[in-house]
Amino acid sequence: MLDNRPLKMCRRRFLASVAALPALTGGAFAHTMPHSLPWSPFAGDPPKPINPLGWYFLTPSEVITVEAIVDRLIPADHLSPGGKDAGCAVFIDRQLAGSFGKSSHLYNKGPFLPGLPTQGYQGELTPSGRYRIGLKALEDHVRAANAGKSFAELTGEQQDAILSGLEEGKITLKLAPGFSTRQFFELLLQNTMEGFFADPLYGGNKDMASWKMIGFPGARYDYRDYVEKYNQPYPHGPVSIMSGAPGWNVKG
Amino acid sequence: MAKLMPRRDVVIVGFGWTGAILAQELTEAGLDVLAIERGPWRDTATDFNIGYMPDELRYAIRRELFLQPSQEAITMRNDLTQTALPMRDYGSFLPGAGVGGAGVHWNGFSWRYLASDFILKTHLTQKYGAKKFDGLTIQDWGVTWDEIEHCFDKFEYVAGVSGKAGVIKGVVQPGGNPFEGSRSREYPNPPLKMPYSSSLFTKAATEYGLHPFPSPSANISRPYVNSLGVAMGECTYCGYCERFGCANYSKAAPQTTILPVLMKKDNFELRTESEVLTVNLHPDGKTAKSVTYVDTSGNEYEQPADLVIMAGYGLMNVRMMLLSRIGKPYDPNTNEGVVGRNYCYQTGGGGASMIFDDKRFNPFMGAGALSSSAHDFNSDMDHSKLDFVGGCSIGSGESNGRPIQGRPTPPGTPRWGSKWKDATAKTYGHVMSIGGSGSSYAQRGNYLDLDPTYTDNFGRPLLRITFDFPDNDIRMQNWVGEQCVKIAKTLNPKILTSGKARKGWNSVPYQTTHNTGGAIMGADPKTSAVNRYLQNWDVSNVFVMGACAFPQNSAMNPTGTVAALAYWAAEAITTRYIKNPGPLVQA
Amino acid sequence: MKRLAAYFAGAALLAGMLAAPAWSGAEPDYQQVHDGRYQAILGDCMGCHTQPGGRAFAGGAALETGFGAIFAPNITPDAATGIGGWSEEQFRRAVKQGVSPGGKRLYPAMPYPSYAKMSDEDVANLYAYMQSVEPVQRRSTPSRLRFPYNIRALMIVWNWLYFQPGPRKLDASKTAEWNRGADIVIGPGHCGTCHTPKTFLGADTSAALTGASLDGWFAPDITANARRGVGGWSVAELVAYLKTGHNSHSMASGPMAEAISYSTSKMDDSDLKAIAVYLKHVPASSAAAGSALAADDPHMRAGAEIYQDNCAACHGMDGKGENAIFPPLAGNPIVGQTSAETLARVVLAGTQSADTKGAPTQPAMPSFAWRLNDAQLADVLSYVRGNWGGGGPVSAGTVAQLRRDLRPNRR
């Protein structure tokens, strides 16, 4: 552009080439952002609520076991419905069917070597694989120790005893290298609590039951008028991402 | 075969806080700047939608806005005798990814390190003699408080930091932090509103003889138009700061402070979802000639540039230096070499957790940096009768009440079942804690290098962290923890608990994303990787941003100091380097 | 570092080249190009003739009219696909009479009825400028109008009915500033193209600037009406709005944000003031915007809750917004228009504010289409209008229709 053509010839070309600068360097290659703040109508990545019907990962017998487990981890009482009615098994199923279950965001390359506790989980199995093996090993263990009865067929007290055994390391299931019984229990507990306390759109925390139980207002975004009201409860109920709050809808 | 791209004045690798700061400053000076970011474009209204941003599972637990280990993982071990293994999921710390980097999902604490921190070795030697810190490889930064004060100021007025100055032009200000270095002027915005827990801490700490003050926060307290003309909103205390993008423009991030101006410049260009693989040097090894990057389709490009700014997360900058053979790698056996040296972390200490029957906190009404702090136990306290150096800033406040992660129960409560449920319902909202953010000092054997076994998707070795907390830091944390417990007792909680700091850094539970060192700044090329302007000693057209430049870590969150150093480096480039390219400090 | 040095040398040279013709007089038509560029700003040619993110003047995105989709053509000086082959005379006929070379009749989406008020000198300058921009080879997209509107010859009849060529008559009873404002608003500024209600054939009615629906937006009343128009704004506030995209009453969205970015924010301050002075004198409209629901109406109560949970964190419980970032709703003319179309649209699809030198932030409204159903969205708008706009309620059916119009391919 800085050639030696006479100025007279240059003028029109000059204005043209100034205008062309961004176009010459931009747009020609993938992922080059425009010289602006990009925006478009409807842009965003809103969540996709789960389909409440059916099962996407768990088999029918696994469903029965998981529902029994989540109902002991979070029993129904005057504070809230139990883990099953709150949707924790549905939550776990959908999570296992998705990217969490596949560990698709994690580092999955070998070699898979036994690690120290400070190094975290080093097994080769993804969460869905761990559930599949873990649930089978649990049922094998329960049936062997209880004359063929499955976990779900035991009394609540018996079920609690087994879960405590897993938690405290008193029961050792036959699992896989790099995947301990305690890790299986921790996975179950973590996912159950996630389901119970996450936004209802993921299948658990039905009717925001856990949030009501502890007084957490959920997906609210403005507490300016309340921060300095010391030692006082917050007056409004919870809001969820997709369903909002009951007051959003005119009845009838 | 890489496609050769048209040459640029400057290429910036990584586009978070430091990338945006350097791009803004260098384009203002007329340079033609290209930033390359491996993550996606993100902006407030389109990606941090107020309706779906408050989603704890998606953003805090599954961590959708963060760097995924599948893209880049790091291996770890506690000492040289162990075999490092990859952190298959990030836990202890969580690096960012995408436009804005961790500047999108940080909490917003916006500190200046203490004046004494920058001359720590000199300061401690004068105060106690070098024997006091025997075994620790403490160093001076090569830059002093007085030199970079205006850079802190510049960042605070871009970010709209809300706080109360403690010392202005040498005069102590009531209500501020009397231990801070002398600043040129007040913060641009007043402190945030004070939550109940902070008010209780303020009262208790004052009665204990400490000097509490509102923590400086980049969650801002009122509508503000920053020094670049960019408008920000008022923080609404939503409790979705850390791990989340701010939906209402009230947390300083590159998006809310710099990008609206920068993105429209003709001499700036941003390429996203493009991963830089290596910085290529000229045959003499004294200057870089280009970077090689790859897009999501696997196409490889060579991007020539006169100046290369490494602006990734500190750990990633160190890895990029090692992969590109920039600077001599550190060898813990000989204590020679510089890249990877003085890796530090941050300490938290036990702190004190209190459960009350008669007090109700609303922890969900929070902001990332909503707290009161006291710096009486910060690293410039009197250690003469103590068996350690360093210290903690302590404080109390409300950042969030998100229940998947935060459901405290009294000690001894089962973790599930009816008793757990009952205790959870009774305890939630009745807990406050006094916590600390502590210094982390370097010692031989804590360092960064390339892992011999594990590689990324491009076959490049992963970074390896070899780290454990020095005994000095354990002693320091436990001493500060005891002080926190004493203060907490004055509040008469029903239940008071405290933890003890222990050896054996664990990579699983979240602690802090304040990893420092590995490409430290200093005055001596034998013990530092970059000079006082963050310019690499060996390859003079490579500047390295980030907390990797910290010779050791101080007792505060690092972002304010990282940003100030970025402005300091930018100033050196625009006022001196472009007039006379070459080393700014003679080795 | 040779290249860095070369860069600075180059920058100096560029500056010299740019400045030289203006000072030396070596280029007699430089001033013409310069003045023409300003005419293009006044006329906001960029607004229609450039696609978002596309090359300047190389043709625009679809403009959805009641008669079908119209695409503003390539007006770069490319000989084959643009107007490179046009003479000044041909250009003037197109701009001022709506007849392109070869006799093809233009639709009045091209605001030639407004441009007809421009002086021949201004149009000549505009021609000089348009011939100087970068030629882009890009075939224009044919417009897709429904029968019988696709018969261009019918425009002869239309012009006979509605077209009033010739310059605006100077009003000697008014100040020079008022007259300048009128010249811009009625002429190149073509404000009425969007803001004046149309007849069934798309011609301006006599209710000038009282607000009109176009392309899925409601261009608001900009008469001196104190509530819905600009009657409540001071001249300085109006100038601030046109210059930065916002003031203490409102923030521009949609096509107005674009018009401000491309056009008004680049106008001279004296012209903005003239526009403001003129608009403040446009006779106030009188149409009613309906009456608000009672505060205890179930729809108002639901709307209040939805507002608190979705809107208040930015716009405030009091509807006052925040300076330069969140527009107020209380007293905002957009809230009180006869039609809630724009209001509903920004809640459904979101919007981005104008890009101006004085206000670079461009805060954007997020989309709520994914979260609020038609009834909820209608209720929150009824609440906002009822509470702060004096406007009547919005029905779920209105929202549903707009949702379909905006995203016809979605369920």
Q: Cβ contacts of residue B150 below 8 Å, gap of 6+?
A: B184
Chain B hits for A233, CB-CB cut-off 8 Å, are 360, 362
Please pick, among B105, B383, B430, B514, the residue that the annotation labels catalytic.
B514
Q: Which of A37, A103, A229 to mutate to test the interface with B (most CBs of B within 10 A)?
A: A37
**Is B260's CB within 8 Å of C366's CB?**
no
- Provide, as residue numbers in chain C, all residues whose Cβ is less than 8 Å from the Cβ of A221: 309, 313
Q: How far is Cα B185 from Cα B175, in angstroms, rounded to an integer?
A: 15
Rounded mean pLDDT, C362-391:
95
DSSP B101-119: THHHH---B-----GGGGG
Contact A43 C406 (CB under 8 A): no
List of chains touching C (3+ CB pairs within 8 A) = A, B
The residue of chain A nearest to residue C10, with distances taken between CA atoms, is: A2
CB within 8 Å: B49 and C310 = no
- Tell whether A4 lies on the interface with C, counting CB pairs under 8 A: no
What pLDDT, on a 0 to 100 scale, did the predictor assign at position A6? Answer: 32
Which residues of C fall within a CB distance of 8 Å from B257? none
Asked if C309 and A248 come within 8 Å (Cβ–Cβ), the reply is yes
- The confidence score (pLDDT) of residue A194 equals 98
Q: Is residue A162 part of a domain?
A: yes
Nearest CB among B30, B44, B247 relative to C8 is that of: B30
First-to-final CA distance of chain C: 58
Residue A86 lies in a domain: yes
Tokens matching residue C49: 């003739």
Gap between the Cα atoms of B252 and B104, Å rounded? 8
A-contacting residues in C 60-79 (Cβ below 8 Å): none
What pLDDT does residue A33 have? 81
pLDDT for res B207 = 97
- What is the ipTM metric for this complex? 0.95
pLDDT at C168: 85
Helix (H) or strand (E) holding B372: strand B371-374
> With an 8 Å Cβ cutoff, are A230 and B199 in contact?
yes
Contacts of C212 by beta carbon, 8 Å cutoff, 6+ apart: C194, C195, C196, C197, C198, C218, C219
Six-digit token string for B525 = 């090329």
- The C-alpha angle with vertex B121 and arms to B117 and B126, in degrees rounded to 5, equals 105
Residue C6's pLDDT band, with cuts at 50, 70 and 90, is very low
CA distance B355 to B432: 7
Beta carbon pairs, A and B, within 8 Å: 233
Q: Is the dihedral of CA B122, B128, B133, B134 positive or negative?
A: positive
Interface membership of C362 toward B (CB under 8 Å): yes
Q: C138 pLDDT exceeds 60? A: yes
- Minimal-distance CA residue of chain C relative to B236: C313
Tokens 């991030």 -> residue: B253
Angle (CA) A83-A89-A95 rounded to 5° is 130
User: Is A8 inside any structural domain?
Assistant: no
How far A222 CA lies from chain B's nearest CA (Å)? Answer: 5
Six-digit token pair at C313?
Answer: 């964190």
Write out chain C residues lying below 8 Å of B234, CB-based: 322
Closest approach of chain B CAs to the CA of A167, in angstroms? 10
C53 contact B CB<8A: no
**Least Cα separation, residue A149 to chain B (angstroms):** 22
Q: pLDDT tens digits, residue range B101-120?
A: 999 999 999 999 999 999 99
Q: Could you tell me what percentage of chain C is helix, strand and coil, using 3-state DSSP and rounding each to the nearest 5?
A: 45, 5, 50
Flag if B45 and C364 touch (Cβ within 8 Å): yes
Nearest CB to A34: which of C21, C53, C372? C53
DSSP B537-551: SSSTTEEE-SGGG-S
**A33 and B73: CB-CB below 8 Å?**
no
Strand partners, B530: B521, B536
| Closest Cβ–Cβ partner in C1, C358, C361 for B306 | C1
Which residues of chain C lie closer than 8 angstroms to B7, CB-CB? 3
Say yes or no: B42 contacts chain A, CB-CB below 8 A: no
Residues of C in contact with B52 (CB under 8 A): 370-371
pLDDT at B56 (0 to 100): 98
Name the residue facing A248 among C30, C305, C313 (closest C-beta): C305
What chain A residue is nearest to B272 in terms of C-alpha separation?
A31
Q: What is the DSSP letter of A112?
A: -
Q: What is the DSSP string of A56-79?
A: SSS-HHHHHHHHHHHHHHS--SSS
The answer to whether residue A213 neighbours chain C at the CB level (below 8 Å) is no
Contacts of A194 in chain B (CB under 8 A): 57, 61, 404
pLDDT in tens, chain B (587 residues): 799 999 999 999 999 999 999 999 999 999 999 999 999 999 999 999 999 999 999 999 999 999 999 999 999 999 999 999 999 999 999 999 999 999 999 999 999 999 999 999 999 999 999 999 999 999 999 999 999 999 999 999 999 999 999 999 999 999 999 999 999 999 999 999 999 999 999 999 999 999 999 999 999 999 999 999 999 999 999 999 999 999 999 999 999 999 999 999 999 999 999 999 999 999 999 999 999 999 988 999 999 999 999 999 999 999 999 999 999 999 999 999 999 999 999 998 668 999 999 999 999 999 999 999 999 999 999 999 999 999 999 999 999 999 999 999 999 999 999 999 999 999 999 999 999 899 999 999 999 999 999 999 999 999 999 999 999 999 999 999 999 999 999 999 999 999 899 999 999 999 999 999 999 999 999 999 999 999 999 999 999 999 999 999 999 999 999 999 999 999 999 999 999 999 999 97
B120: exposed, middle or buried (Cβ count in 10 Å: 0-12, 13-18, 19+): buried
Flag whether A240 is in a domain. no
- Which of B255-276 are b and which e, b meaning 16 or more Cβ less than 10 Å from the residue's Cβ? bbbbbbbbbbeebbbbbbbbbb
B156: distance to nearest CA of chain A, Å?
23
pLDDT per residue over C28-55, tens digit each? 488 899 999 999 999 999 999 998 778 8
User: How many angstroms separate the CA atoms of A164 and A162, rounded?
Assistant: 5
Q: Is C160 on the interface with B (CB under 8 A)?
A: no
Could you say which of A80, A222, A228 has the minimum Cβ distance to residue B238? A222
Interchain pair C53, A2: CB under 8 A: no
When CB atoms are compared, the residue of A118, A160, A192 closest to B505 is A118
Residue B335 backbone class (left: φ over 0; alpha: ψ -120 to 50; beta: rest) = left
Q: Which of residues 352-371 of B touch A (CB under 8 A)?
A: 359-360, 362, 364-365
Over its length of 252 residues, how does chain A's per-residue pLDDT go in tens digits? 233 333 333 223 233 333 333 333 333 344 788 888 999 999 999 998 899 899 999 999 999 999 999 999 999 999 999 999 999 999 999 999 999 999 999 999 999 999 999 999 999 999 999 999 999 999 999 999 999 999 999 999 999 999 999 999 999 999 999 999 999 999 999 999 999 999 999 999 999 999 999 999 999 999 999 999 999 999 999 999 999 999 999 986
Q: Length of chain C, please?
A: 411
The predicted-structure confidence for C278-321, as pLDDT tens digits, reads as follows 999 999 998 777 888 999 999 999 999 999 999 999 999 999 99
Contact (Cβ atoms closer than 8 angstroms) between residue C71 and residue C145: no
Q: Which of B491, B378, B505 is nearest to B434 (CA)?
A: B491
A75–B418: do the CB atoms touch at under 8 Å? Answer: yes
Please answer yes or no on whether B270 and A32 come within 8 Å at the CB atom: yes
What total of structural domains would you count in chain A?
1
Tell which of B33, B236, B362, B456 to mutate to test the A interface (max A CBs under 10 Å).
B362
- Contact between chains at C361 and B32 (C-beta distance less than 8 A): no
Residue A45 lies in a domain: no
Count CA atoms closer than 13 A to B115's CA, side-chain side. Answer: 13
Question: How high is the mean pLDDT of chain C?
Answer: 88
pLDDT at C145: 83
Reply yes or no on whether B430 is catalytic.
Answer: no
C366 touches chain B (CB under 8 A): yes
Domain that holds residue A119: 60-214
> Collapsing DSSP states into helix, strand and coil, what is residue A248?
helix
Determine the distance in angstroms separating the CA of A53 from the nearest CA of chain B, rounded to an integer.
21
* φ, ψ at B8 (rounded to 5°): -125, 160
> Which pLDDT does position C60 carry in this prediction?
85
Enumerate residues 110 to 149 of chain C having a beta carbon within 8 A of any beta carbon in chain B.
Answer: none
The verdict on residue A133 lying in a domain is: yes
Chain A contact for B280 (CB, 8 A cutoff): no
Nearest CB to A7: which of C26, C317, C349?
Answer: C26
Q: Determine contact, residues B108/B252, Cβ cutoff 8 Å.
A: yes
Q: Residue A19: its pLDDT value, please?
A: 32
d(CA B255, CA B270): 13
Q: E strands of B378-494, at which residues?
A: 392-397, 431-438, 447-455, 461-466
Note whether residue A138 is domain-resident: yes
Domains of chain C listed by start with CATH number: 22-162 (1.10.760.10), 172-411 (1.10.760.10)
For C364, the closest of A23, A39, A248 (CB atoms) is A39
Q: Is residue A117 part of a domain?
A: yes
> All domains of chain B, ordered by start, with CATH?
3-577 (3.50.50.60)
Contacts of B454 in chain A (CB under 8 A): 107, 109
Helices (H), C51-140: 88-97, 112-115, 120-130
Question: Do residues B153 and B571 make contact, with C-beta atoms less than 8 angstroms apart?
Answer: no
